[in-house]
Chain A
């Protein structure tokens, strides 16, 4: 049993580390999900990626179409948007689009919905032309 003492100490020390250092140390997680006080906002926004195909139709790009989970693409899009590197993301996506998607141009669009009057606005944050 004596050998378990240091294991016990190390294990619980590591579990508590993210609480003290305010960040994840995978596999030890800081349990900060939903921790922000988040009162009802006047409007909310979300980011989506659209593409313009060869027939000049705009279509929503889904994560599952390019081998990423739906939520994976959402997280990645927000990450690049917050880093103000949305164009870089569109360039990376362009290089990896499957052949059957005939994409001429990609757009990252911010959709804002005003909760009071249910009115929506869309803004093009970034765009990138493909060589197809």
Chain B
């Protein structure tokens, strides 16, 4: 039975890898023809509707830049398949009932994680209303991000933003006091995503809250599992929801590491790369650090290794504590040297899903 299962999985892996390779070759060819302007007009127009900047870049960018983009296209699809397959292989046992203790987490940990998450979520969103009200006057500069665009959401008035903001805060508070927690968690996630979407719909790309939102997607499911466990008198919940939150953080770091190599090649790991960023965008401390090539070399290789290794640590269940500590230092370094993020970055706060909260002494209200 075990051998049969292994054979099936190996077959799925081989077919998946072959299909993703063929798909990559096809996309590569389409991209090449687009660049050489030999692609049929309707297909070219479809590509430009997906990537409005491509038409401009096609005439302005160098052939070398296009070459690197085409090489990247070849690797992206198989890489996405490999990452997805690895995640599924590790998650598969977690989906199968009955659960053994290794596939569960203590109910108390799940409860505390949700409490800390919603308390912090309210705190992070607390200054959004002022920004949203100010932005509500700038209709000519409004360029909705993908989700707002497909939902055809216009820029809202200040009073509409006030109402939605009130609902966002209220839904978070209601989760904390356990009033219809699943529905309120769902409402909080949706409102968080939409209101944050408005904040970045003014030509400003911002990934500050990406990891935070990803773990927010799984929170209603975790709370649902908690309610179910409580009803049955169990002291544990299935691990899958929490594992999906952890894996999504690891995947984001892995994607960031992959992007750097796919866009720039291994040259990205050279000291002069970090020195360039520090001299152009860095803080006073960053510009001082840029003088030392050896230090920049250590920082750039160390930072990339952290991003590339985080997902592996989650999958192999090895050295997670080391990666979390390095992660805090990594985000503080980008804040101190490059003025990106801050001391209380949501990326650091997202590590709350890795901590054994049941072992922490907890205030009683």
Contacts and interface: CB of A to CB of B under 8 A. Distances in A.
Contacts of A99: none
B320 to A, nearest CB: 20
Contacts of A96: 137-138, 140
Contact of A37 (B72, B96, B218, B273): B273
Q: How big is chain B's contact interface, by range?
A: 35 or more
B276 A40 contact: yes
Contact of B147 (A12, A26, A38): A26
B76 A12 contact: no
Contact of A12 (B87, B134, B137, B241): B87
Contacts of A58: none
Interface in B201-253: 202-205, 207, 210, 213-214, 217-218, 221, 238, 240-241, 244, 247-248, 251-253
B280 A67 contact: no
A32 B263 contact: yes
A100 interface: no
Contacts of B84: 12-13, 16
Of A20, A21, A96, most buried by chain B (CB within 10 Å of CB) is A20
B259 A31 contact: yes
Contacts of B116: none
Contact of B202 (A13, A15, A40, A75): A75
Interface in A1-32: 1-2, 4-5, 7-9, 11-13, 15-16, 18-27, 29-32
Contact of B259 (A11, A15, A19): A19
A38 B96 CA distance: 47
A35 B276 contact: no
Contacts of B259: 19, 30-32, 35
Given A1-B240, A31-B259, A115-B279, A36 B264 contact: yes
A23 B202 CA distance: 17
Q: How big is chain A's contact interface, by range?
A: 35 or more
A68 to B, nearest CB: 7
B203 A1 contact: no
Contact of A27 (B91, B213, B272): B213
Given A69-B131, A72-B202, A25 B146 contact: yes
Contacts of B328: none
B292 interface: no
Nearest to A26: B145
A20 B95 contact: no
B228 to A, nearest CB: 11
Interface string B261-299: 011110110101101110110000000001000000000
Interface in A92-110: 92, 95-96
B234 to A, nearest CB: 14
Contact of B197 (A26, A35, A37): A26
26 contacts: A1-B96, A4-B221, A4-B240, A5-B95, A8-B244, A11-B218, A12-B251, A13-B84, A15-B214, A15-B248, A15-B255, A16-B80, A16-B255, A25-B146, A26-B146, A31-B256, A31-B259, A32-B256, A38-B273, A40-B279, A68-B135, A69-B131, A75-B202, A75-B204, A95-B140, A96-B138
Interface of A: 1-2, 4-5, 7-9, 11-13, 15-16, 18-27, 29-41, 44, 67-69, 71-72, 75-76, 78-79, 83, 92, 95-96, 115
